[in-house]
Amino acid sequence: MKKLILLAATVFSVCFSSSKVKGQDIISKKGYTLTFESNNSSFDPALKEVLIKTFFKVYPKLAKEYNKNTSKEVKFLIDTAYKGVAATGGGKVVFSSNYMEKHPQDIDVVTHEVMHIVQNYGRSGGPGWLTEGIADYARFKFGVNNEGAKWALPAYKAGQSYTNSYRITAAFFNWLETNQHKGIVKKLDSQLRQHTYSAESWKNLTGKTLDELWASYAKG
């Protein structure tokens, strides 16, 4: 836990305002407000602090990069009943108390989940694999402790598909970004939010179809 405390000091050194309302911590900084709530009375306060500080480290960067009109108010709930890892909807991120306490270094769950708030594609915003791939690419690019969590993008393996989502899709995006298509993730994200994305987007943006791009990626 000492590493977490040190990390907290490095990611959040600027002054902020904080208050408590009916069991909630309300923290504001640089125009953004985070409401933090937990139904686990024994949740590690050092881990709580790191999650809060990670939010204020990454969320403004994600907003600047992808969507300056993203919500200025976000809610975190540490939930003992939630059985997954984390889920986001309506500007609120629910974290599994059990998962976070077992994986205290995996704080960039925050980065992935708040990227979903920044994405804000609404209904029919595009395929799920694309949404999750972009969120994991954002974690790869802006995460603050991926190495500590032993989280990394995988190398290509035969049988993978861009539709596998998450890290596999994010690795494909990283390849695109570093192979003559810099900025494509930002462009796709914008199209998804504006509901202008289609299968033709890839051809229009790169001159190649999605399957052609993936075939090139698979060849290395």
Say what the pLDDT of residue 120 is: 96
For 167-216, the pLDDT digits (tens) are 999 999 999 999 999 999 999 999 999 999 999 999 999 999 999 999 99
Say what the pLDDT of residue 45 is: 97
Choose one of 119, 139, 154: the last residue of a domain.
Answer: 119
Choose one of 97, 119, 141: the last residue of a domain.
Answer: 119
Q: Are residues 20 and 107 in the same domain?
A: yes
* Sign of the dihedral defined by the CA atoms of residues 177, 85, 72, 51, in that order: negative
Q: Are residues 7 and 113 in the same domain?
A: yes
- Print the domain residue range for 167: 128-219
Q: Are residues 25 and 106 in the same domain?
A: yes
What's CA 94's distance to the chain center, in Å? 13
Nearest to 133 by CA among 185, 209, 87, 193: 185
Q: Are residues 98 and 12 in the same domain?
A: yes
Q: Are residues 21 and 113 in the same domain?
A: yes
Q: pTM value? A: 0.90
Say what the pLDDT of residue 2 is: 41
What domain count does the chain have? 2
CATH code of residue 70: 1.10.390.10
SS3 195: coil
Q: Are residues 112 and 140 in the same domain?
A: no
Q: Are residues 45 and 105 in the same domain?
A: yes
Say what the pLDDT of residue 206 is: 97
* Beta-sheet strand order (sheet of 86-89): 17-21, 24-29, 32-38, 73-79, 92-96, 86-89
Say what the pLDDT of residue 7 is: 46
Q: Are residues 45 and 27 in the same domain?
A: yes
Say what the pLDDT of residue 69 is: 97
Structure tokens belonging to residue 207: 């001159």
Q: Are residues 92 and 136 in the same domain?
A: no
Contacts 24+ apart (CB under 8 A), 191-195: 191/126, 192/119, 192/121, 192/125, 192/126, 192/130, 192/131, 192/134, 193/67, 193/119, 193/120, 193/121, 193/122, 193/125, 195/121, 195/122, 195/124, 195/125
State which residues of the chain have pLDDT below 50.
1-15
Q: Are residues 21 and 43 in the same domain?
A: yes
Choose one of 62, 85, 119: the last residue of a domain.
Answer: 119
